[in-house]
Chain A
Amino acid sequence: MSRVIWSPIKYRKFSIGDIIILLFLGSIIYGISSLNIIYSEPTQPVGLDLTPTRLPLYALFSLIRMILSYILSFIFTIIYGYAAAYKKNLERILIPLLDILQSIPVLSFLPPVFMAVISLFPGSKLGLEITAIILIFTGQVWNMVFSFYQSLISIPKDLREAANMLRVNSWQRFWHLELPYSAIGLIWNSMMSWAGGWFFLMACEMFTLTNQQFVLPGIGSYLSFASMKGDMPKIFYGLLTLITMIILLDQLVWRPLLAWSQKFKVELVQGEETYESRVLLWYRRSRILRIIREYVTDPIRERLDKFFVERSQKTNKKTYRTSSLSKIFNGFILALILILVLRGFIGLLGLIVKIPLSGWGEILTSALMTLLRVSIAVGIALLWTLPVGVKIGMNPNLSKIFQPIVQVVASVPATAIFPIIVMYLVDLSGGLNIASILLMLFGTQWYLLFNIMAGGMSIPKDLIEVSDLCKLSVRDKWKIVILPSILPYLVTGGITAMGGAFNASIVSEYISFHNEVFKIKGLGALITESSATGNNAFLAASTLTMALMVVAINRLFWKRLFKMSEELLS
């Protein structure tokens, strides 16, 4: 009896997928070796070779940085998500903590991270590199953790029971149940995280700390430098490189991943929404991938499996009670986190008390200014995304055309285009205000658009038909059918957009352009400036203010709206 079990596609020739994979591997290896060359060169204090021919290399450096910080994010996500989902007493601390961490802008992490890393790697460029990677990490990790945690706690009870009945061990549970169940959410959030990473790349690759400037070779720092000098053609070349890279990544990595991840859908009915990717087909036919699978990943997986099977058979006496040892361990971790949080809190208090009353006045007025700008940006975004998003979402043909386009456009970081906008607006009165709002708008309107589009897709067709039959006026149709249906999506989009806009204020309110610093009154400007000048007290206070403001708005406004919309629809 011979049956083919494993391979649905039997013939495999050398395919385009192989070429793509080879190119990718080759460029990464080249990048790493060149990184070495640059680091063995004597350090030039501040400066970057802006020759356009160096751009591909810079792009590669940035890419490697992004990949490393993404790997870091992924590991962190798994650990944090596991702890929050399975340790009930940790959950109570970890989840609110996540809420706060998420609302802290990237640059606020800079001084503590820098201090810690530099003290570990004194005077080396490697330390700077690690700093940048951790900074990118702080910008992209939180939503991934949230997504993983949410998936873990919503795994259907019968699947869990089935896994228990099949007596799978912890590794198999992770590999066959938890990771697949979380896959779709994780991939979507990874895409968002990468977009966020590109957005703050300029800030992460070139930063000023206690009046000292640090530069790492990369596409972000290239753009920063070019715009600082006001060199238009160079900005343009940099932008072109960046956009090319982002589109390539989208087509060669994210699209195929998304199409592949559709097999992890839990619903047993086939949904309407499908993601297709020709590239995925290429990869499936790829010979290299098959060789890798046959000779590398499959044996590794089999070996891993065996290792865990043997381990679990040794400790097979799985009983109802958690052992007292693990309880002590839990308590220990809990205490450690509490001490850390407490220590941080005391440190924060110690910093904040140094601020005079007038300082607080400035922080508060700045906060109000930023809040105003954020509200205007979100308001404008809402104004156009609401009709457009609903229109596209409700029409399957339109969404088929527009979804991929919008995704590519959205993944181009607004920070990269920002210098051009500033150049045109800088001489206008109030131009900086407009520029700042524009950057927030470009950075965050996509969250709203995506969510509203998803909402539009979810409106039940029969409701639309009924409202057409009843000849409802456009106004009534919106009021009775559309708005209530999309409200939960709108709120989700709103939370992300608003949080994103606050975070974007750190790059939009304080700009180095044409060898000049432009800034406007705002919380973001305050954070960037105090980080650059090493005013830690101000940095701590304004970061705290921003985090509190974001959390408060979420709790008092969005979550209430969400609850309301849930009740309306139930």
Chain B
Amino acid sequence: MELLRLENVSVSFKFPEGEITVLDNITFTVNENDFLALLGPSGSGKSTILRAIAGLIKPKQGKVYFKGEELKGINPGVAMVFQNFALFPWLTVFENVELGLKNLGLSPEERKKKVLEAIDLIGLDGFENAYPKELSGGMRQRVGFARALVMDPDILLLDEPFSALDVLTAENLRNDLIDLWIEKRIPTKAIILVTHSIEEAVYMADRIILLSKDPGRVIKEITIDLPHWRDKKSYEFVEIVDDIYGVLTGKPLEKISWKDRRHFNIPQASVGSITGLVELVDDLDGKVDIYKLGEELLMDVEDLLPIVEACEILGFAEVKEGDLILTEAGSKFADADVLERKEIFKELSIEKVPFLKQIVKVLQSKSNHKVPRPFFLDLLKQHFTPKEAERQLDVLIDWGRYAELFEYDDDRDELYLPETLEEANIATEEER
């Protein structure tokens, strides 16, 4: 039976500089007994989808239906668990869990009974009078779960609930949740989990919706038929994880549009980490499975993907079916010495990153070869949020500095061409 339906939901945020689309045309349905995972890199708007479902934000276009009725305001049938717990530090465990019951008009005795039941269920017995700051991270998130479950929600919304916990605690809590779910010890009819960990999604959910970023779009929907409890080392499990890696890193949709977009999104990767990755892949004979690489480096997709993406953009490597393969330029870069590397980087970056070229052009066209940072920031703000524009420019400056395309004066907030470059420039102009 259908519980929830999103129809062509688009969300955009307004900034003084303009509107940024976060979600674009999201459509999917959640049925009873669904354990759905929303999976995507940061910037794919997966948490925003959750907030649209919860009724915390209103979609700009499209509609959210709960039990067939259009949602207007806070969704009456959901409860949410937050990434950073969002507990009230001045309330005890008991009071935190009780808070959601207070507006239901129950008597204090009924409230107490329900709260104690929830606390028992989630394994918090004996901590009723503790304050959140006395608890470990895992126990805090248990309070978060108890607070959500005590409301008897139809749909439980989980916003990366395990990502702030250490590995073991997270695993423990995941298993407890799966246990409650498959043993039907909670009346919850559906769970929606937001995560950026592919493994977590495949381990827990029965259905995964993959999202692309900038703006968030549904790329693919995958059904996981493996029965619980799932073996992370099994062939089928690894197969599915690898597949998803391939889809997320391949991003066929975005690849086409890259060439057309003059200001495409530069991934947040420093020159240092790009160099590091290229060297590493070179040591591994120029080819490596990204999923295994991430596991070996103990890195999340979230952290690894931008670096992989940067290598792709610069033409150092290609991604094929979940493997990262070094190109010719890539292996040349890996073998080169420091100065040669800078040369290669300079050539490639100016060729592949149009905005870097634009920066150099602007600098050259000014008579003193100096341009204040805000100038470029304003250009970027036409395409990004102010915060993102800052980040983009920081990366561009990092790359440009390394490639010796230009220099940057942090005190004066100025980009400028160094003397030698200037002279070289003047020389070439005179030759003409």
Contact = CB atoms under 8 A, between A and B. Distances in A.
Interface of A: 1, 3, 5, 8, 156, 158-159, 161-162, 164-169, 172, 176-177, 180, 183, 263-270, 302, 305-306, 309-310, 312-313, 317-320
Contact of B80 (A162, A264, A306, A319): A162
A22 to B, nearest CB: 29
A320 B102 contact: no
Contacts of A269: 133
A263 B102 contact: no
5 contacts: A161-B54, A161-B82, A265-B133, A266-B89, A309-B103
Interface in B116-152: 116, 128-129, 131-133, 140, 147, 151
Interface string B59-83: 0000000000000111000111011
Pairs A-B, 8 closest by C-beta atoms: A166-B100, A158-B86, A162-B86, A180-B90, A320-B58, A165-B80, A318-B73, A319-B73
A3 B116 contact: yes
Given A5-B129, A310-B105, A319-B72, 17 more contacts: A3-B128, A5-B112, A159-B86, A161-B80, A162-B82, A164-B56, A165-B79, A165-B100, A176-B88, A180-B88, A264-B89, A268-B85, A270-B133, A306-B105, A309-B105, A313-B105, A317-B73
A265 B99 contact: no
Residue of B84, B90, B128 contacting most chain A CB atoms (<10 Å): B90
Nearest to B413: A567
B108 interface: yes
A167 B103 contact: yes
B157 to A, nearest CB: 8
B148 to A, nearest CB: 8
B56 to A, nearest CB: 6
B94 interface: yes
B74 A164 contact: yes
A1 B119 CA distance: 14
B251 interface: no
A261 to B, nearest CB: 9
Contacts of A176: 88, 91, 99
B56 A165 contact: yes
Contacts of B401: none
A168 B100 CA distance: 7
Contacts of B56: 161, 164-165
B51 interface: yes
Q: Report which residue of A161, A166, A317 has the largest number of chain B beta carbons within 10 angstroms of its beta carbon.
A: A166
Contact of B133 (A1, A268, A309): A268
A158 B102 CA distance: 20
Nearest to B100: A166
B151 A166 contact: yes
A158 B84 contact: yes
B105 A265 contact: no
Nearest to B140: A268
A264 B90 contact: yes
A269 B84 CA distance: 13
Contacts of A5: 94, 112, 128-129
A267 B85 CA distance: 12
Contact of A159 (B73, B88, B151): B88
Contacts of B58: 320
A371 to B, nearest CB: 32
Contacts of A3: 116, 128
A167 B58 CA distance: 17
Nearest to A157: B86
Contact of B103 (A158, A169, A319): A169
Interface centre among B54, B58, B103, B133 (most CB of A within 10 A): B103
B89 A265 contact: yes
Contacts of A165: 54, 56, 74, 78-80, 100
Contacts of A302: 108
A337 B366 CA distance: 50
Contacts of B78: 165
A166 B147 contact: yes
